[in-house]
Structure 1
Amino acid sequence: MQCKQLEVLKNNSNGSESGSLFSCMNHTLTTFGSRLLRHWVSHPLRDGSMISARLDAISEILESMGFSKKFNDGNGRHTDVNLHQLLSLVLTNLGKLPDIQRGITRIFHRTATASEFIAVIQAILVSGKQLQKLQVEEDNEVNHVEKTIQSLLLKKLILTASSSSIISTSARLLSALNTEAAEQRDISNLFVVSEGRFQEIATARNKVKQEKDKLDLLINIYRKQLKNQKLEFMSVSGTTHLIELPANVKVPSNWVKVNSTKKAIRYHAPEVLTALDHLSLASEELAIVCRSTWQKFLEEFTGFYQDFQSAVQALASLDCLHSLALLARKKDYTRPVFVDDNEPVQICISSGRHPVMETMLEDNFVPNDTNLHSEGEYCEIVTGPNMGGKSCYIRQVALIAIMAQVGCYVPATSAKLHVLDGIYTRMGASDSIQQGRSTFLEELGEASNILHACTNRSLVILDELGRGTSTHDGVAIAYATLQYLVEQKRSMVLFVTHYPEIVNMTKGFGGRVGSYHVSYLTSSSSQKDESNPSGSDYEDVVYLYKLVPGVSERSFGFKVAQLAQIPLSCINRGSEMAVKLEEVVRDRCKSRLAMADKNLQEIFSNLDLAFLEDVDPVKRFERLKHARSLALALRN
């Protein structure tokens, strides 16, 4: 699948997500959910059962948007629990938090802070408890009034995200940590010591407490020594356990002066300095023990990582399914139907709409039908005027097929499809000058890759193949490619071209190829005037954007030139030249027809004369020989 050409993840104008299929589909509420949906959109499923599982889950969420189901609360009472509302609550709360999926990874690699750890585990715990309100049972025996969840996928995801083991493990891990200390980055008080847990920390804390108690006892000694019962330790600018005394008070000579003011001097007694050293050593030992315990605590989490990762992945999947349900309800999408693998390959879409363009145009978008069937017509040749909606139509079919195989509802009245093994596109113009590859070589390179890779279960989209070279070469290459796809590969094909000759060349494909064009209206007359001297391809045109059977012989290139604001004199001159070229072609055709008519008359005249009874055999032979040469020339 060519994500770039179909603008699945990014638009082709500025490379942003705006205007892409992903942007249109993304209604997720969490960062990790958005990341997973991006993966879903760029990797459509090819397993019909998995697609159906997602569609069933979305259907049930959509159903819950309309009403609440009454569930038993486990105590004989009944409570209203709405699946959609509960999912919205859980996901909205998670969306307000940092990315818990990346948080789990940081915890696993032991780079997370304690506050990050608590936030992530707390989020998973709360989400799990909320999801348990749905009372999904692991066994198949349901003792409630009715099953709470019908979808097997939803049931599996909810059970994974709210398993009792996840909740109990989360609660046990959180109970070991002090939230306030974690927020303050206080490693010494981070762990909650209990019987049998963190005894090394308990021992180190006791040692710190003992050293603090020794310091507190010293103040009593200094009160007696200095005969000042109001004496207290003080702290100034981060320096603790200072004794502040008036300047005229005599102190022991071994006291250390720390700083002073005009009226007072602050000291450190030698016993205080010794006790502070012991306290500092004990505090450092406590910090070392706590840091070591934190690393061991994170190592212990490694054993639970897979379960937590699965829980977060389940929450991400629930976010994606909830997002796709919101999309289906908001845009009035319909559930696609997939035929069995043993049934003929087909793409049957009724009133299909381009998901991105519909969002931009709202009610002004014109829907179109698509009917491709491997036992009937499985190739559409689409012609029509420039800017008439040809490329939009073929992209629309591809995007609907992608959305369906993502497991999403689609923008159509109905859609019946076969699970495709690939979507191959060739559209747009590009080159690779650094590698010496011209635009036409790049174009044919992409076409070659498609011809080698596609199968009878693929959708192939070719837009303007062969336009990078001369008309005759382009028509020949386009026809040969189309013939190979139809007769050898038997792929589903949408083929856009400005070469009407190709339609005539494919009439021998026995109903496998249909010709269509995007309809339009032109002005009632094409009379020449000052602004339109030629009246050929420069008249007003109204695009109807409706795909109808038939071939469009005109492209209205000068109308596009006018929209592009090419100088009017240039457009008029080009239009005049177009008329002259058409006249030259017509005159050449007339001349060839006249010559052919003259040759035919001369052939029959020579044949009549050759078979007269009285004609000399030599002259008869000469006339037959001349008739033969004229016939060969006419055939060539």
Structure 2
Amino acid sequence: MSQYTPMIQQYLRVKADYQDAFLFFRLGDFYEMFFEDALKASQILEITLTSRDGGSAERIPMCGVPYHSAKGYIERLIAAGHKVAICEQREDPKQAKGVIKREVVQVITPGTMMEGAGIQEKENHYLAAIENAGGQYAVAAADVTTGECKAAVFAAFDAAVHELAAYGVKEVITNGSWTEQDIKQIRARLGAVISVEEIAEESPFDRLLFNLTDGLTRKASARLYHYLHRTQKRSLDHLQPAEPYEIRDYMNIDYFSKRNLELTETIRSKGKKGSLLWLLDETKTAMGGRLLKQWIDRPLLNESDISRRLDIVETFMVSFFEREELREQLKEVYDLERLAGRVAFGSVNARDLVQLKKSLGQIPMLASLLKQMNGAELPKLADSLDPCTELFEELERALIEEPPISVKEGGMIREGFHMQLDEYRDAAKNGKQWIAELERKEREKTGIKSLKIGYNRIFGYYIEVTKANLSLLPEGRYERKQTLANCERFITPELKEKETLILEANDKMMELEYELFTQLREDVKQFIPRLQNLARTVSEVDVLQCFAAVSEARRFVRPSFSADGRMHIQEGRHPVVEKVMDAQGFVPNDCRMEKGRNMLLITGPNMSGKSTYMRQTALIAILAQIGCFVPADKAVLPIFDQIFTRIGAADDLVSGQSTFMVEMLEAKHAIANATGRSLILFDEIGRGTSTYDGMALAQAMIEYIHSSIGAKTLFSTHYHELTVLDKSLGHMQNVHVTAAEQDGKVVFLHKVKDGAADKSYGIHVAQLAGLPDAVIKRADELLHSFENQEKPKADPEPVLAREGQLSFFEEKPEPAETPKPPKKADSAILARLLSYDIMEMTPMEAMNTLYALQKEAKK
């Protein structure tokens, strides 16, 4: 340390406590970075790297950003996955003895951002802590911008990581003892920053932990709260007590199924457009938008809770005019949750409080509109809308309608709110009038029309006279203050006396106004719990009116629920595909599973709509259980406890798993966790391996789900041989998506009918995809050749010498044996073998026949 200057020594001492963050070290009007921070930040931020003398033999790398524009630079560093520690000067430089005292006032991290481009108004911004003990894993998640806190326990690491992925967490807090493999998996799945917090004591946070009875969730939550208080270093009064929840209380949709069904983002673009959330989001408030996403992530299981939501949606649908007025009023309600967060954080300004006041002013009108509508639930919602009248009235008295952004330059408080402030304002205002009057009098006395009275911070008020008019000034009264190139500046005794009064009034006025604003902000803090309760009710009203608006516009109907497991969807539609197609040409379909019928085996050509049919069934179930109407003419549904999907295929390059391995892992997850109340969607299982392997796996899965699980299952396949299973599996039914040939081309009818498909139309699909004519023609020749049991023409020899999959291990050649004359029994078996017409058999029949012959031969 001794080789550096005192200021650099101070920097190094502070930096030692924040090794994982860029240290923004305040020097005058700049935040400076030194050493390694400067080298990295200059590259990321694309700013100039310089150096300075720090007392050592070599110059120290340095870069910096102006403090008034630091916000944008900080956001760029956070977006790149870094942390920033803000180190401020904590004493007046004029009064400092030696090095100015400095300390870190806040650490901004990807999970603790309060505002900026990285905060989306209709999305939560979570960070989470994860804890493990005794084979269980606890997750505690918090959104610092809104104050929401939640906690749950999971029986497996994968389930906990899936939950973190569902939250979309930006930062994960651990105790620092996790294995590198676990940390790698968290990073790979979430792309989140990993932070360490060693302290997990519960006692400082009794207010926030009282809802939690499980020791592991208390520990995870306490660790999360310690991290927040250590990094933010300020009041976080808006943090709400952690709410425990059980995954089994909601429909469980695993990470893969949410992705495959595109509930909140699309697979291809990772964006909102094209997802179910995009279709539904007709919310008018940011709070409502966030709640809608939470509801989609966690559909309900309790039928009475679902029916309550559906009742409210139905009331909104039949009350068109009141609903439209309600939507207009909701537009004027700002983000109460995040406003409350900024109040607690101390970053709220006067404009924010005016927005809060305007929002509170809408609440009585919202309550009145809800009471005008018929329905048992809406009056209850209206009564729970707390207008916080006292707060509204105080804000109305205190603040002007259009205050400035800065809270330290005055101009925020209304006249009449504080007597002393009004007196200072009067003195400042009259002083300025006196200055203007003095300027007029001096012009008359001297005859200098260009004479003017000005002001700057260094010299105060002055009388400015051009050099050409200096001879006109009277002797004795004017005292020279400053000489410039073209003019000179003077003061008079009267001006000096008045200057003191005016400047004192201005300084005291701004100082008092800031004090009044600070006190007002503290008063608002007392209302934070009430504001958060109000925000929850407004959010619920917003989401339910949104369901009504979408349901009416898209011709959705109210679903009903069956106690015996029946599922009857009449003319069901895929809501997103229908919207994208603008309802032109979308073909609706029925989906029937009566009592005792649990599985549909779906066949049909590629591009015919099998995957769309399967997805729309799942989306209809999800919409029903979040309390929305559904896209169908009629819908009777069981209440599903879980949804599993295996749709689409993609390599998991991060973990080095092939398409087929990903397919098998997702299928295993479904089979291992599904119950008789679940919904399973399997699309083309087994296509990633050889024909017989795939077909055998597909049949084995069908039989196991049918006999051992009993879940409602939609299973699409190209293995037409599997359609015979309906004869042996009583709960399975064949359906197919229809297509027709016209002038040698395939026409997809997209209609689902009973029975199995008779053709796959693979070559027609290839033709539609635009493959070269030569390829299509050759494929057609080969197809006819295969179908007619002719050896295909090949140049120069067949591609495959034999049917089947290559051996996984090296095979040793069998030793040659001397042929023996056939026994009588062998001849009989041979005769039976020759009697079969193999080309007329299905692959499954051929395998069964071969097995019987082999069994007999072994005897």
Separation in 2 of the partners of 1:219 and 1:564? 82
Give the residue type in structure 2 aligned to 1:518: V
After superposing the two structures, state which structure 1 stretch, 127-136 or 448-457, moved more. 127-136
- Say whether 1:121 aligns with 2:340: no
Do the aligned partners of 1:234 and 1:240 also contact (CA within 8 Å) in 2?
no
User: 1:328-339, aligned counterparts within 5 Å?
Assistant: 328-339=551-562
Give the residue type in structure 1 aligned to 2:542: D
Of 29, 43, 49 in structure 1, the residue corresponding to residue 284 of structure 2 is 29
User: 1:378-457, aligned counterparts within 5 Å?
Assistant: 378-457=598-677
- For the residue of structure 1 that corresponds to 2:536, the secondary structure is helix
- For the residue of structure 1 that corresponds to 2:388, the secondary structure is helix
- For the residue of structure 2 that corresponds to 1:179, the secondary structure is coil
- For the residue of structure 2 that corresponds to 1:247, the secondary structure is helix
Separation in 2 of the partners of 1:217 and 1:397? 79
Of 256, 261, 285 in structure 1, the residue corresponding to residue 480 of structure 2 is 256
**Structure 1 residues 270 and 551 mapped into 2: Cα distance closer, same or farther (>3 Å)?**
same
User: 1:434-583, aligned counterparts within 5 Å?
Assistant: 434-505=654-725, 507-509=727-729, 511-523=730-742, 539-583=744-788
- List gaps (5 residues or longer) in structure 2: 1-252, 793-801, 803-824, 833-851
After superposing the two structures, state which structure 1 stretch, 343-352 or 266-275, moved more. 266-275
Alignment match, 1:320? 543
Separation in 2 of the partners of 1:218 and 1:465? 87
Give the residue type in structure 2 aligned to 1:173: L
- For the residue of structure 2 that corresponds to 1:29, the secondary structure is coil
Q: State the Cα distance separating 1:468 from its structure 2 match.
A: 0.7
Do the aligned partners of 2:349 and 2:406 also contact (CA within 8 Å) in 1?
no
- For the residue of structure 1 that corresponds to 2:570, the secondary structure is strand
Alignment match, 2:383? 159
Separation in 2 of the partners of 1:316 and 1:556? 50
- For the residue of structure 1 that corresponds to 2:583, the secondary structure is helix
Give the residue type in structure 2 aligned to 1:367: P
Separation in 2 of the partners of 1:572 and 1:630? 39
TM-score after normalising by structure 2? 0.57
Separation in 2 of the partners of 1:289 and 1:602? 110
Give the residue type in structure 2 aligned to 1:439: T
- Say whether 1:17 aligns with 2:236: no
Alignment match, 1:56? 311
After superposing the two structures, state which structure 1 stretch, 227-236 or 573-582, moved more. 227-236
**Structure 1 residues 597 and 521 mapped into 2: Cα distance closer, same or farther (>3 Å)?**
farther
Q: State the Cα distance separating 1:28 from its structure 2 match.
A: 2.6
Separation in 1 of the partners of 2:395 and 2:854? 97
Do the aligned partners of 1:256 and 1:269 also contact (CA within 8 Å) in 2?
no
Separation in 2 of the partners of 1:418 and 1:219? 82
Q: State the Cα distance separating 1:393 from its structure 2 match.
A: 0.8
Q: Encode CA deviations 1:299-347: one digit per residue, 9 max, x unaligned.
A: 22111122223323333322222222122222222110123xxx22232
More helix by share: 1
Alignment match, 2:586? 365
Separation in 2 of the partners of 1:237 and 1:211? 14
Do the aligned partners of 1:432 and 1:439 also contact (CA within 8 Å) in 2?
yes
Do the aligned partners of 1:25 and 1:327 also contact (CA within 8 Å) in 2?
yes
**Structure 1 residues 449 and 247 mapped into 2: Cα distance closer, same or farther (>3 Å)?**
same
Q: Encode CA deviations 1:552-597: one digit per residue, 9 max, x unaligned.
A: 2421111111111111111221222233333449999xxxxxxx99
Alignment match, 1:78? none
Alignment match, 2:346? 110
Give the residue type in structure 2 aligned to 1:540: K
User: 1:37-186, aligned counterparts within 5 Å?
Assistant: 37-65=292-320, 82-94=321-333, 99=335, 101-125=337-361, 127-134=362-369, 136=371, 148-161=372-385, 163=386, 165-182=387-404
Q: State the Cα distance separating 1:220 from its structure 2 match.
A: 11
Of 531, 534, 537 in structure 2, the residue corresponding to residue 308 of structure 1 is 531
**Alignment RMSD, CA only?**
3.9
- For the residue of structure 1 that corresponds to 2:739, the secondary structure is strand
Q: Encode CA deviations 1:245-285: one digit per residue, 9 max, x unaligned.
A: 752334438823346797x8541135644653564345334
Separation in 2 of the partners of 1:632 and 1:185? 91
Q: State the Cα distance separating 1:383 from its structure 2 match.
A: 0.6
Do the aligned partners of 2:570 and 2:634 also contact (CA within 8 Å) in 1?
yes
Q: State the Cα distance separating 1:501 from its structure 2 match.
A: 2.1
- For the residue of structure 2 that corresponds to 1:318, the secondary structure is helix
Q: Encode CA deviations 1:433-457: one digit per residue, 9 max, x unaligned.
A: 3322111111111111111222111
**Structure 1 residues 541 and 395 mapped into 2: Cα distance closer, same or farther (>3 Å)?**
same
Identity percentage over the alignment? 29
Paired residues in the alignment total 548
Separation in 2 of the partners of 1:169 and 1:483? 65
Separation in 1 of the partners of 2:277 and 2:698? 32
Do the aligned partners of 1:114 and 1:182 also contact (CA within 8 Å) in 2?
yes
Give the residue type in structure 2 aligned to 1:514: Q
Separation in 2 of the partners of 1:16 and 1:135? 34
Separation in 2 of the partners of 1:493 and 1:280? 80
- For the residue of structure 1 that corresponds to 2:593, the secondary structure is strand
- Say whether 1:348 aligns with 2:587: no
Give the residue type in structure 1 aligned to 2:395: L
Separation in 1 of the partners of 2:770 and 2:736? 26
Alignment match, 1:292? 515
Do the aligned partners of 2:332 and 2:358 also contact (CA within 8 Å) in 1?
no
Q: Encode CA deviations 1:381-425: one digit per residue, 9 max, x unaligned.
A: 101111111111111111111111121111111111122112111
Do the aligned partners of 1:259 and 1:266 also contact (CA within 8 Å) in 2?
yes
Do the aligned partners of 1:204 and 1:282 also contact (CA within 8 Å) in 2?
no
**Structure 1 residues 29 and 496 mapped into 2: Cα distance closer, same or farther (>3 Å)?**
same
- Say whether 1:599 aligns with 2:828: yes
**Structure 1 residues 224 and 20 mapped into 2: Cα distance closer, same or farther (>3 Å)?**
closer
- Say whether 1:283 aligns with 2:506: yes
Give the residue type in structure 1 aligned to 2:507: E
TM-score after normalising by structure 1? 0.76
Structure possessing the higher relative contact order (Cα contacts under 8 Å, 6 or more residues apart): 1
Alignment match, 1:268? 491
Alignment match, 2:818? none
- For the residue of structure 2 that corresponds to 1:362, the secondary structure is coil
- List gaps (5 residues or longer) in structure 1: 66-81, 137-147, 525-538, 589-595, 604-628
Q: Encode CA deviations 1:15-57: one digit per residue, 9 max, x unaligned.
A: 3333222222222333433333233223322222221111111
Separation in 1 of the partners of 2:424 and 2:396? 26
**Structure 1 residues 561 and 440 mapped into 2: Cα distance closer, same or farther (>3 Å)?**
same
